[in-house]
Amino acid sequence: MLTIYIKQTLPLLSTVNRNYFDLFFYFLSIAILLSFLSIKIA
């Protein structure tokens, strides 16, 4: 479901500065990964 949302928003975000989007997506993926790890540990 998340991948579908990303695929739909990518054409819109292509006009925006790619560096900012890549940086945001990088931090977002780290946050998701950390949340999954904390759930597994707990």
Domain spans of the chain?
2-41
Residues 6 or more apart in contact with residue 13 via CB below 8 angstroms: 21
Q: What is the DSSP string of the chain?
A: -HHHHHHHHHHHHTTS-HHHHHHHHHHHHHHHHHHHHHHHH-
pLDDT tens across 20-39, in order? 878 888 999 999 999 998 98
pLDDT band at 3 (very low <50, low <70, confident <90, very high): confident
What does the pLDDT read at residue 6?
67
